[in-house]
Each structure stands twice: as structure tokens, then as C-alpha cells.
Amino acid sequence: MKSHRVIIWTKSISDFLDGNVYGIGVQLYFWAQTFAHHNWEVTTFTFHESFTREGIHFYHSTQWGRLEIIHEWLSVLWNLILIRPQLIIYRGAGRTVLPIALITKLFKIKLILFGASDTDFEKGKELIVGGSHNRRMWQKAVSKTDYVIVQNQYQKDILQYNYGKVGSIIHNIWGKVDLPNLKSSNTKADVVWVANFRKLKRAEWMVNAARSMPEYNFILIGAPTKRDSGYYEDIEQESKKLPNLQFLGKKGFTETNAIISQSKIICCTSVFEGFPNTFLQAWANGVPVISTVNPSELITTHNLGVIVETEEEFRLQIRRLIQDVALYGKIKHCIQNYFSANHAADTNFKKLMDYLD
């Protein structure tokens, strides 16, 4: 009989299973998968009818429109009474965590807050929609939460500086992923870029690289965003002009993972990131990364790829990494050693339980 119950407070796992790939949904899916593997009763939420999959219980939740903020508070109270969990997990910045933080203290339930982006703990810079009042609710929630998980040293430092709290660094995890058989060989590429199409992701670096290196094949994968919808369309139009650049748009998680497994290099050209799940997809498949961000200096410390600062350097390193067979092989070997020691789901589950104790 399962005596431990956890609520993973999100609808993003359900969205992930529907094919909507976001970093938060991927990570929370792997955490739900891991808790279920360790014999916890796992509950999360969905806009669909309630269902159970892989030992994860998805409870139906509704939207209340203008009364949504009232519904959030009532929903927290109702679900804690109904499910009676020992633990709640929330990831990323949002106002909903405030009622969770306050009511869990009343019920003496542990809440673990997972940071997602480096800006989550930078006051005034949090990526939260809905105005300054939502940002203030988030800040209040962080101040009331006892257990905070961060992804890198910068997040840990900024959390302590702004909130006086000592977070625990637990790297993103990687669970079981099935790889489909891709029907088309056209999905094989030398260089792959995966991200949502926002201007700060700088997808134009890939377009320019493909234009300057016609001997290599490039792929762009990602969904449009409401904030930068025109940017998605601009990159798509530019991509159509280049025979060696495929603009695939939005793809499901397993298909994206399969494409990555057949590539030589994964690229990150963002202005900033927390810890991209794309890195885990790459390293789980033994693929080096070329990146403009270096979370916790992991890439340079463990030789997992190459760090670049400028667009010119980005193009130069693509050529170098593909052409230098010895360098490429050395990096792949380092990836295999690092990944098994730092991102295995069961290893990080133990770290999480030790932190709670």
C-alpha cells in the first residue's frame, strides 16, 4: 500500500503528454515518473477528464475566467483536504504558489519550490504575466517557502541575496524516453537548434550559420510564442530560402529526442537560460553542445561542449567541432561519464529526499 502522497501542482505534465513541449512540463513529468517508481502516490492536474497514466493520477481542473484567482485559493484548500499529501512540488514563477505556500503551512505539509529560470529569484525581473501584483504574490510566496531547489550556483546566490534563503542545487533529471522510428532520413542533420521562438533565443544565428556553411545540414525546431509571434514567421520565411536548413516548427518531445539522437551538435543561442532541457536531451544521447550559456560552468568544467559569446565564434566552433574528430570523440566520452553521475533520476531523487530530511 502506498503511504506517501505527492501533488505536483501543474497542468504542464498533461500538456506535455498532449505534445506541447515546455521545459517545466518535461522536468515535472520526469519527477512524477520518478516518484511513482519509488512507490509514491502521484497526483497532478489536467483540463481533460480525469485519468491515470504510468502510475500518475491526473485530476480534472476547470478555469474560472475573471474569478480564476479565487478559484486558485479554493482549489488549493479543496485538494489538500481531499488528497492529504505529505509533499507538494511547484516549479517556476507564478502567483498560484502563494496560496499553496500559506495553506501548506497551516496543514503542516512540505512544499518544495523548484526554480526554473535564472530570473525567478531576481526581484522585478521575474517572467510572470498579469501585472506587478502577480509578481508581488510570487515574491511573498518565495519568502514563505522553506524548501527551494535551484539549478545552478547563480540561482543559489541570488536567492540568498534577495530572500535570505539557502537553496539546494539539484540538477535537472532525465527519465525513461521511448525513441520512435523516424520514417524520413530528412530529419538527420549536423546541427540542431531546439527552443521556443522568442527573440532572446536568437534563432537568426542558426539561419546565418546555415547560409555560410552550405556543406552542413541544419534543423530548427520550436513552437511560436504569443509574445514574439512575428519572429517565428520571419525565421520560417528566411529558412525557406536555404536548401540546407529545415524549419520543422513545433514537434513532439519523443520525435525531437529522436532527431537529436541522430545529430552531431545541439545549439543554444539564448541570451540567458536556467538549465535547458535541450542540454539533457543532447547529453542523454551523447551529443555535444555549442552554447552561449554555461549553467554553473558545467560545460567547461566537464568538457560537455563549447561555449561561445559571439555569432562569429558560434560559426567557427561549428566547423571546428565537426571537423576535429579527436576533439569530438573526447567530448562524447566526457558526456557519458558526466551524465550518468549527475542527471540520473534515482540519484537526484535521493538527493531531494535527503534535503527534506
What is the number of other CB atoms lying within 10 angstroms of the CB of residue 80?
18
**Domain-embedded: residue 120:** yes
Model confidence over 88-111: pLDDT tens digits? 999 999 999 999 999 999 999 999
Model confidence over 162-176: pLDDT tens digits? 999 999 999 888 887
Rounded distance, CA 49 to CA 248, Å?
Answer: 31
Higher pLDDT, 196 or 161: 161
Model confidence over 251-295: pLDDT tens digits? 888 888 889 999 999 999 998 877 777 898 899 899 999 999 998
What pLDDT, on the 0 to 100 scale, is given for residue 157? Answer: 95
Question: Percent of the chain having pLDDT more than 90?
Answer: 68
* Domain CATH code at residue 155: 3.40.50.2000
Computed on alpha carbons and rounded to an integer, the radius of gyration of the chain in Å comes to: 21
**Domain-embedded: residue 180:** no
**Domain-embedded: residue 215:** yes
What pLDDT, on the 0 to 100 scale, is given for residue 21? Answer: 66
What pLDDT, on the 0 to 100 scale, is given for residue 254? Answer: 83
Mean pLDDT over all residues of the chain? 90
Task: State mean pLDDT over 54-58.
Answer: 94
| Look-up of cell digits 534535503 | 355
**Domain-embedded: residue 72:** yes
If asked whether residues 88 and 163 sit together in one domain, one would say yes
Q: If pLDDT is split at 50, 70 and 90, which confidence band does 2 have?
A: low
If asked whether residues 147 and 206 sit together in one domain, one would say no
**Domain-embedded: residue 108:** yes
**For residue 179, is pLDDT > 70?**
no
If asked whether residues 220 and 118 sit together in one domain, one would say no
Rounded distance, CA 74 to CA 57, Å?
Answer: 20
Angle at 203 between CA 200 and CA 207, to 5 degrees: 150
* Cα distance between the two ends of the chain: 22
What pLDDT, on the 0 to 100 scale, is given for residue 292? Answer: 95
If asked whether residues 246 and 134 sit together in one domain, one would say no
**Domain-embedded: residue 116:** yes
If asked whether residues 305 and 325 sit together in one domain, one would say yes
Task: State mean pLDDT over 107-125.
Answer: 93
**For residue 149, is pLDDT > 50?**
yes
What pLDDT, on the 0 to 100 scale, is given for residue 178? Answer: 60
The answer to whether the CB of 211 falls within 8 A of the CB of 317 is no
**For residue 333, is pLDDT > 90?**
yes
Say how many domains are in the chain: 2
Name the pTM for this structure: 0.77
If asked whether residues 91 and 40 sit together in one domain, one would say yes
If asked whether residues 155 and 223 sit together in one domain, one would say no
If asked whether residues 162 and 239 sit together in one domain, one would say no
- Taking the mean position of all CA atoms in its chain, how far away is CA 340? 19
If asked whether residues 218 and 292 sit together in one domain, one would say yes
Of 103, 102, 100, nearest in space to 89 by CA: 100
**Domain-embedded: residue 135:** yes
- Taking the mean position of all CA atoms in its chain, how far away is CA 334? 23
**For residue 183, is pLDDT > 70?**
no
Q: If pLDDT is split at 50, 70 and 90, which confidence band does 182 have?
A: very low
Q: If pLDDT is split at 50, 70 and 90, which confidence band does 185 have?
A: very low
Q: Which residues constitute the domain of residue 278?
A: 185-342
If asked whether residues 96 and 190 sit together in one domain, one would say no
Model confidence over 221-231: pLDDT tens digits? 998 888 888 99
If asked whether residues 348 and 338 sit together in one domain, one would say no
Q: If pLDDT is split at 50, 70 and 90, which confidence band does 158 have?
A: very high
If asked whether residues 144 and 267 sit together in one domain, one would say no
Length of the chain: 357
**For residue 152, is pLDDT > 60?**
yes
**Domain-embedded: residue 139:** yes
